[in-house]
Amino acid sequence: ETIEFTAGLIGGAVGFAVGGPVLGAITAAMANYASKTDKEIGEVVQAVSKSSIEVYNYLATLDAKYEVLIKAQKSLEDALEKVKSSDKVDPETVKKVETALASTTSKIKEINTEYDIVGAGQTALGVIGDLVEKAVKKAGELNEEYKLTDKAQDALKGAVDKAKAAAK
């Protein structure tokens, strides 16, 4: 269900970017439906959705680790300032807080270097971009073959006509 939902979101976003809200709604529904099929387009849409979910989860995990360390660093910096500004400063306490702060700062740099957060994000977005491009091309080919846009427009026009007739 998550993959199908994500397929709908991605399809809707692509459709909205290309043709506005109506095309966004249509492509969201088409992508969601395609993700449920066993045909080639279904596999492509599922692959794009799975990759998007995995990238999101990976980046969320990194963000959580990074956020916790940044909060710890800020807390230690505040504690260090309070200790230094007090009248009776114990040099040993200052040294302990400075050591903890240096360790936290070092860990943040280590995570930045180890996971290359910016580089990983760019790579992930590049992969998603490639998959979305393939999905859009395949959707275009399927649209050419099955005239899906024309069918959707006809169905939408029919619904509007019925609504107009009912409103009279």
Q: What is the pLDDT of residues 40-52, one digit of tens each?
A: 777 777 777 777 7
Q: Is the pLDDT of residue 129 over 70?
A: no
Q: Is the pLDDT of residue 26 over 70?
A: yes
Model confidence band, residue 112 (pLDDT cutoffs 50, 70, 90) = low
The pTM (predicted TM-score) of the whole model is 0.41
CA distance 116 to 111: 8
Going from the C-alpha of 41 to that of each of 11, 45, 122, 135, 150, the distances in angstroms are: 12, 6, 26, 7, 19
Where on the phi/psi map is residue 57: left (φ > 0), alpha (ψ -120 to 50), or beta?
alpha
Mean pLDDT of 80-89: 75
CA distance 142 to 119: 34
Residue with tokens 């200052």: 94
CA distance 158 to 59: 44
With a CB cutoff of 8 Å and minimum separation 6, the contacts of 96 are none
Angle formed at CA 132 by CA 130 and CA 135, multiple of 5 degrees: 110
Handedness of CA 32, 36, 40, 44 (dihedral sign): positive
Residue with tokens 């849409």: 45
Percent of the chain's residues with pLDDT above 90: 0
Percent of the chain's residues with pLDDT above 70: 79
Which of 103-107, 127-131, 133-137 is modeled with the greatest confidence? 103-107
